[in-house]
Chain A
Amino acid sequence: MRWRSHILLGLAVAFLAIAPALFGTFTITLMNYIGIYAFAALGLVLLTGVGGLTSFGQAAFVGIGAYATAWYTAVQGGSPWTGLLLALVLSGLAATILGAATLRLSGHFLPLSTIAWGIAIYFVFGNLDALNRYSGLSGIPPISIGPVSLGGTTAIYYFIWILLGAVMLLCRNLLDSRQGRAIRSLRGGVAMVESLAIDSFRMRLAIFVLAGVLAGLSGWLYAHMQRFVNPTPFDIRPGIELLFMALVGGAGQIAGAVVGAAIVVLLKNVLQDVLPAVTRYSAQLEVVFFGVLLVIILQKARGGIVPMIRRFLPRPVPIAPVAAAPLARRARPAVTDQAVLRIDRATKRFGALAAVNEVSFEVRPGEVLGLIGPNGAGKTTLLNLITGTAKPSAGQIVFLGDDITTMAPRHIASKGMARTFQHVKLRPNMTLIDNVLLGTYPRTHSGFLAGAFRFDRVEERSARAEALQQLQRVGLGEKFGDLAGNLPLGQQRMLEVARALAANPVVVILDEPAAGLRQLEKRTLSDLLRNLRGDGMTIVLVEHDMDFVMNLVDRIVVMDFGAKLAEGLPAEIRADARVQEAYLGGVA
């Protein structure tokens, strides 16, 4: 069924190729603007739709690119190609500084500061003598490739659209690679992302800088096509038009950038004909129109236009992973008496309440340790301390001989600890196999460029084979191409287990893995866990289902009111009077 999308794409390319023969200069100029805006809108699509961030200052980054090359070529007499380098470096640098300052804070600080930044940069352009203040810079030379000048409308048309096509292809490749999946996983909470050894801050920064660089590229093209720049197009107002392009086309859809840019450019063209008849302030009122449309879109059709069209196209059939060389496996500690994990008087206080109070125990290599206790006993808090999600108020936690007490979750994860969550944390809009591939993140190495240029295919094939294997292990191999959100809860839990296993961890921490599972699924899970133990995996398990725990685990730690109540073999725990009292409220 893929051919239908391919035909659509082929038609679009053919149309773009013959457009200059069909239309006059005016239409081709409009299409040039569509292409140029599409670069900046593409940045916002990646940032807003994929990364879950947003920027109102995208036009300011376009301005940096445009002014950088304008100043370098028109004032300094340099070459546009060096100007390109300058435009990309400066816009990337500005994005890095702004992002580094704001991206550790919660989500609204970045967009807010982009408003302030957008206004500030406009005043900078307008007040610098070197940039000829509000009058702007003129006499910018056209781009030329060797002896061929791209000064003509048609010449630059082909240049813009071929470049745009290439950039869109690179972005698509990137999203379908190791780092791209990590970026796609950003939306929906950092706890899961960090538990997969992904540095969420670095990913946010990367996507923000990428958006900034795309805007810089857009600015470079703009300056050399327009041959003149002034501050007006880089104010905060065009920033909202760019955001409108990204959202109307369909945030998260790469094609949405082009669709959105086309809609805005064509609408503006109509407005420029109509508005002057109604009002004297037509230039300012375009944005009123877009503002109203934007509110309506966000209220009524948040998905944008491309997903609406896509609904009528068949969903592409997922490509099955092929056999490939296995990913490197982690060396497991031999089954000895040396503890894999040692918790030493760990304490966590919330104000006066000690949710975990001086709990000590050890986890030995290759064992399945059950952690049980009544509701509110502090089991999940203890797991959070072990996995680094929360920091202990006192005490020490040692994993594989290293003190991890104050280590960040992603560092602990990359040392070989994987976990599942009490409330399942998956990415419902990603496929099963993509969710499991996230688990392989700490075992793989491809960077952003490798992903964009597809130098990562060998490793990617191995990772996909591994992911499929783990899916098959939990009984979901057939459904690898389905969306995770379509699974029933029980299978979502199994999917989380598969994701944890894909990391090839030394220790797996399972928080109530059997909750919500049907009897048959529980049996599959306990068979799987027994298999894993056979492979030498160490498992820590919080669970309420006593049958499940008693039949599976080697040893049990019982917690009550934050403290350790008992520790021992299942049979000993079953016979322990204190445990019975804690569970049954006193033996009659």
Chain B
Amino acid sequence: MTPEIALLLAQDGISTGAIYVLVALGLVLIFLVTRVIFVPFGDVVGYAALTLAALQLKQTPGTVWLVLSLAALATAMEAATLIHRGEARRLPKALLMYAVLPIVPAALVWLAAGRDLPTWLGVALTLAIVLPISPLLYRIAFQPLVDASVLVLLIVAVAVHFVISGMALIFFGPEGFRTEPMTRAFFDLGPINVSGQSLLIVGCSALFSLLLFVVFERTLIGKALRATAVNRVGARLVGILPTTTGAIAFLLASALAGISGILIGPVATLYYDSGFLIGLKAFVGAIIGGLVSYPATAVGAILVGLLESYAAFWSSAFKEVLVFGALIPVLIWQSLRASGGVEEEIEDEDHEKDA
């Protein structure tokens, strides 16, 4: 490997890693606030990229039907719960949240599909329609299990992944798509050429990570999210509803997934199930950060991007094996580090009723 190739691979790895950063931050955010290990998160990233690709091909993206069916299901479940509890007066608000808000972007996308759209409008529509997916999945699959153990939530998450990735196959078919690059600029930086798209990815990733940080530090919602993450019972005692913070966490994460999908669309050919692997690699990054720390997660995600880039150069067939295989030494390292305080940690874990 020459230094030029090494640099090129590093550039590639950092820009892929920057996307993993956004995805991993979303995963950690959801996990800390709701204890859900949101395996289908990568699929949401995939939906975002494929939606944009469909819009650019002047087709109606299947995302419209996904969002509509999820909205119908969530609305029905919420209405049934409210009526069962005798709180029918809260129905209008539920209708607004679970029916109207998701239907509006779905309708807009449906209307816009097939027309010649400027890039920014396609991006905006994609973001708008991806936004409701995660919160709706939360309402349908996870909220009824709010008291279940991490383990049960994880099994549900894996099941949900298979459902929505199977639906992606129906909606988008087995072919791969690539969206149009947002910029074709190239910058000559001495030994290597850096593509504008790479810079855009890294820049966006940094910007939105920073934005997330500001939300956490400066806004009341961010503080409520942090409070829930630190102590769920305590948060409830001061009037923070775990289901509300849960929905907000999923909404924020959905935005991160949308952005990630839009950014990765032009640099990789994506298939209906590619998102899953993206999500899992982001998980590897998050696990390097121990699933607790946002900065460590970001560092871990960049490392995964670099590892993947160099592994692909070494043997493209075994790229995935190397990336996922890297998890084992990471976990061993975490085990050794945690061996002191493991008692309390596992104790927390096990307040489960049954699995």
Q: Which of B159, B280, B328, B349 has the most CB of A within 10 A?
A: B159
Which residues does chain A contribute within 8 Å of B338, judged by CB atoms?
A: 104-105
User: For window 280-299 of chain B, which residues contact chain A by CB distance below 8 Å?
Assistant: 280, 283-284, 287, 291
A119 touches B280 (CB 8 A): yes
List chain A residues, Cβ under 8 A from B348.
106
Interface centre among A116, A123, A292 (most CB of B within 10 A): A116
Q: Which of A94-102, A175-183, A308-316 contacts B (4 or more CB under 8 A)?
A: A94-102
Q: Is the interface of B mostly helix, strand, loop or mixed?
A: helix
Contact of A124 among B151, B156, B321, B347 (CB under 8 A): B321
A211 to chain B, nearest CB (A): 14
CB atoms of A302 and B152 under 8 A apart: yes
Query: How far, in angstroms, from A200 to B346 measured CA to CA in the complex?
Result: 11
Q: How far is the CA of A117 from the CA of B321 in the complex (A)?
A: 8
Number of B interface residues in the complex (CB < 8 A): 58
Stretch in contact with the other chain, from A66-74, A188-196, A366-374: A188-196
B234 within 8 A of A: no
Name the segment of B166-174, B183-191, B193-201, B224-232 touching the other chain. Answer: B166-174
For chain A, the bracket of interface size reads: 35 or more
The yes or no answer to A376 lying at the interface (CB within 8 A) is no
Docked CA distance A284–B284 (Å): 26
B144 at the interface (CB under 8 A from A): yes
A474 to B318, CA, bound (A): 62
B-facing residues in A262-298 (Cβ within 8 Å) = 279, 281, 284-285, 287-288, 290-292, 294-295, 298
* Closest chain A residue, CB of each to CB of B167: A288
Pair count A-B, CB < 8 A? 166
Shortest Cβ distance from residue A126 to the other chain B in the assembled complex, whole angstroms: 8
Q: Do B151 and A120 touch across chains, with their CB atoms under 8 A apart?
A: no
Q: Is A106 touching B155 in the complex (CB atoms < 8 A)? A: no
Would you call A243 and B327 a contact (CB within 8 A)? Answer: no
Least CB distance, A331 to chain B, in whole angstroms: 30
**B320 near A120: Cβ-Cβ < 8 Å:** yes
Contacting residues, chain B, for A124 (C-beta < 8 A): 318, 321
Bound complex: CA of A106 vs CA of B348, how far in Å?
A: 9
Q: A111, A189, A190: which contacts B154 (Cβ < 8 A)?
A: A111
Segment from B55-63, B112-120, B329-337 that makes contact with A: B329-337
Contact B163 A102 (CB under 8 A): no
In the complex, how many angstroms separate the beta carbon of B312 from the nearest chain A beta carbon? 13
A104 to B336, CA, bound (A): 9
Q: Once the chains bind, are A116 and B280 in contact (CB under 8 Å)?
A: yes
- Nearest Cβ in chain B — how far from A188, in angstroms? 6
B338 nearest CB neighbor, chain A only:
A105
B237 at the interface (CB under 8 A from A): no
User: What per-residue 1/0 map shows which CB atoms of B313-355 lie under 8 Å from chain A?
Assistant: 0000110110011011101101100111011011111111011
- List, sorted by A's number, 7 A–B pairs whose CB atoms are closer than 8 Å: A101-B331, A104-B338, A119-B324, A127-B317, A187-B350, A190-B346, A194-B343
Q: Which 7 A-B pairs have the closest CB atoms?
A: A288-B166, A116-B324, A291-B163, A291-B162, A120-B324, A291-B159, A294-B159
